[in-house]
Amino acid sequence: MGLPCPSKRSIDILKNSIPENIIDEIRDRTDIVAVISEHVVLKQAGKNFKGLCPFHSEKTPSFSVSPEKRIYHCFGCGAGGNAYKFLMETQSISFPDAIKLLAERTGIPLPRNTSGHAQDPQQKEREALRKLNESATRYFQSLLKNPEGGLSARNYLSSRHFDSEILDRYRIGWAAPTWRGLLNHVQQNSSVSVERLVKSGLVIQKEGDGSTVYDRFRGRVLFPIKDLHGNIIGFGGRSIIEGENPKYLNSPETLLYQKSETLFGIDQAKQAIRKENEVILVEGYFDQMRAVQHGIEHVVATCGTALTAKQAGMLRNHAETAILVFDSDPAGRAATEKGFDILLEYGLNVKVVVLPDGQDPDSFIQEQGAENFLEKIRNAKPFIESYIDALIQETPGKTPADRVKMANQILPLLAKIKNNVERTAWLEAFTSKTGIDDLTFLKELKKTFAQNQTRLAETDNVSASLFNLEKHLVHLILSDKETAEAILMEINPEDFSDPTLKTIAQTCRQKIEADEDLKLDQLLDQTDDPEVRNTLSRLGLEPVEFDTPERTIKECVGKFKNIHIKSKIKDLKLQRLQAAKAGQIERSQELQAQLHEMHLALTH
């Protein structure tokens, strides 16, 4: 199969300015493995090197590089070529520009007259936009450093504890609160057309009035946004006036800037990400800069946008683990969950760090220090574990309804994990952490899991088992006073899990203790709760279909007692474990004696 290559016309024109032997020498002296390794994690496999293809999504490496033949090929999508072609594809540059880059890399001088080549119109436009963004960056930097004009912005950045060193490293600038500052500067100092300025996103042309053009960024601190290779492709602007909306304003999408393909700080972080084999994902510009300011280099920011497949693919080519550090509010948690889905799809191990309420990486590092932040990174929990912990915190109840609710939230996430062993391990972790030991529930849960379903069936008897038992008991209590007395002598209505049935049982017990009859019409008059009234009227009209009420009472009471004894046994076991860990030998022995009594009390 022939290698993809630059057009013959492009090569012919180049030969007039760069001798073919120099083009060949540059290619021969280029270490193609080193060039591609800046974009793809390569591992040696015999004579060749393998990695995940940067040109399509894959989980199993099919991208191969041959240092001997100085070529690459993907056996998945068919992409292939040499070092020139790789740079052209990954950096969206022309063949002549790829030659220049590799000439600089190998130290081979080029003839002076190398600018006479033809250039693709779109590539020419890209280059013009890059130059315009570079010029705008210098202008914005000069405004920030202006003794008077940049004072308010410098004071703001100083209040955020960012020094001149980090501001210079990121080339942070300031857009004055004027309507045509940048526009006038560009028109006075260059021949750039208004049309190109509009295409760059730096200025806005008023709809319906082509003559009205004004700066997009006004009165904002500006963050140059760079691509993987350090080219400035857009800007993010932050208002320095609290309460002003929008707080952040980004460049629109352009020929250079596609927000779904961009991560703030990736150009500076990529080498550190490779070294650590993990990437820390944060939300904002300041979060990323604060980490870097304190020596934590393997960090990138999504800058308020949801993580995309293209961003995940870019990260997977640099690391195997992603650690999400998003806000703990509902929006942050939603972003974390979506990020997990996408990163998992691209084969990354996903972990989560939860910061204290109201804090982000910027404030946490500033207040608690880099070492405390790194400690949280080192102790980051796998996403699934963190999700389970959050579920338990939100749903502390032990009722069947609580268990079903938690199960139906975790099952869809487990279904996304393709590895069966890992999925099963997480299911076991879920049941262990939630303390689910109901055999019927576990059986139904495992059945649902084995069938790769994402919800427990509404008609199953998992949530219904205890509810039905309590309903049977209340039905019997309402059937006649003698039966009610027999049941309520054995059980405590406070132990009921269903609130409605508990209320009815409590009311019936009060009436029996007051030696009053249990009349449904009176019970209905004594409550304003529509759910209680509905249950009373329904059970009152349903016949009591028990052949032997005495045996039914005994069985229902026995089952009910066993459930609550098992719950107490579980609590006592936990207390015993805690006592043993604390070295409280006598307390541990007391609890062991209570456990023995509880086990004896179980009916079989």
pLDDT of residue 509: 93
pLDDT of residue 117: 52
Does the pLDDT value for residue 555 go beyond 90?
Answer: no
Write the CB contacts of 580 (distance below 8 Å, at least 6 apart in sequence). Answer: 588
Does the pLDDT value for residue 564 go beyond 80?
Answer: no
Does the pLDDT value for residue 390 go beyond 70?
Answer: yes
pLDDT band at 326 (very low <50, low <70, confident <90, very high): confident
Least confident of 42-46, 218-222, 267-271, 452-456: 452-456
Does the pLDDT value for residue 155 go beyond 90?
Answer: yes
Does the pLDDT value for residue 432 go beyond 60?
Answer: yes
**Is the entire prediction scored with pTM above 0.85?**
no
Q: What is the mean pLDDT of residues 362-369?
A: 95
pLDDT of residue 239: 95
pLDDT of residue 13: 45
Give me Rg for the CA atoms of the chain: 34
The rounded mean pLDDT for the chain is: 85
pLDDT of residue 236: 96
Q: What Cα–Cα distance (Å) separates residue 530 from each residue in 36, 238, 524, 537?
A: 69, 53, 10, 11
Bridge partners, residue 45, by sequence: 48
Least confident of 10-14, 219-223, 307-311, 340-344: 10-14
Does the pLDDT value for residue 51 go beyond 60?
Answer: yes
Question: What letters, b where the CB count within 10 A reaches 16 and e where it falls short, cover 471-485?
Answer: bbbbbbbbbebebbb
pLDDT of residue 229: 85
pLDDT band at 604 (very low <50, low <70, confident <90, very high): low
Maximum mean pLDDT: which of 169-173, 338-342, 540-544:
169-173
pLDDT digits (tens, 9 = 90+) for 277-318: 999 999 999 999 999 999 999 999 998 778 998 899 889 888
Maximum mean pLDDT: which of 139-148, 335-344, 416-425, 432-441:
139-148
Does the pLDDT value for residue 12 go beyond 50?
Answer: no
DSSP 8-state code for residue 264: B
More confidently predicted of 389 and 604: 389
DSSP 8-state code for residue 522: H
Amino acid identity at 127: E
Q: How far is it, in rounded angstroms, from Cα 340 to Cα 384?
A: 9
pLDDT of residue 313: 87
pLDDT of residue 38: 86
pLDDT digits (tens, 9 = 90+) for 434-482: 877 666 667 777 777 777 777 765 434 444 566 778 888 998 898 888 8
Amino acid identity at 194: V
CA torsion sign for 360, 362, 363, 369 is positive
Q: Among residues 239, 233, 218, which one has the least CA distance to residue 157? A: 239
pLDDT band at 113 (very low <50, low <70, confident <90, very high): low
Check: CB of residue 471 under 8 Å from CB of residue 454. no
pLDDT digits (tens, 9 = 90+) for 194-244: 999 999 999 999 887 767 999 999 999 999 999 988 999 999 999 999 888
Percent of the chain at pLDDT exceeding 70 = 90
Q: What is the mean pLDDT of residues 385-394?
A: 86
More confidently predicted of 249 and 411: 249
- H helix or E strand, kind and range, residue 309: helix 309-316
pLDDT digits (tens, 9 = 90+) for 575-586: 888 888 888 888
pLDDT band at 323 (very low <50, low <70, confident <90, very high): very high
Q: How far is it, in rounded angstroms, from Cα 494 to Cα 497?
A: 8
Check: CB of residue 507 under 8 Å from CB of residue 526. yes
pLDDT of residue 63: 93
More confidently predicted of 438 and 417: 417
pLDDT band at 541 (very low <50, low <70, confident <90, very high): confident
Burial category of 452 from C-beta neighbours within 10 Å (exposed 0-12, middle 13-18, buried 19 and up): exposed
Q: How far is it, in rounded angstroms, from Cα 271 to Cα 299?
A: 11
CA torsion sign for 499, 503, 504, 510 is positive
Q: What is the mean pLDDT of residues 347-371?
A: 93
Q: How far is it, in rounded angstroms, from Cα 77 to Cα 58?
A: 10
pLDDT of residue 460: 42
End-to-end CA distance of the chain: 75
More confidently predicted of 187 and 57: 187
Give the angle subtended at the CA of 337 by the CAs of 332 and 340, to the nearest 5°.
125
pLDDT of residue 114: 55
Per DSSP, the three-state class of 127 is helix
Check: CB of residue 219 under 8 Å from CB of residue 181. no
More confidently predicted of 44 and 326: 44
pLDDT of residue 352: 94
Does the pLDDT value for residue 145 go beyond 90?
Answer: yes
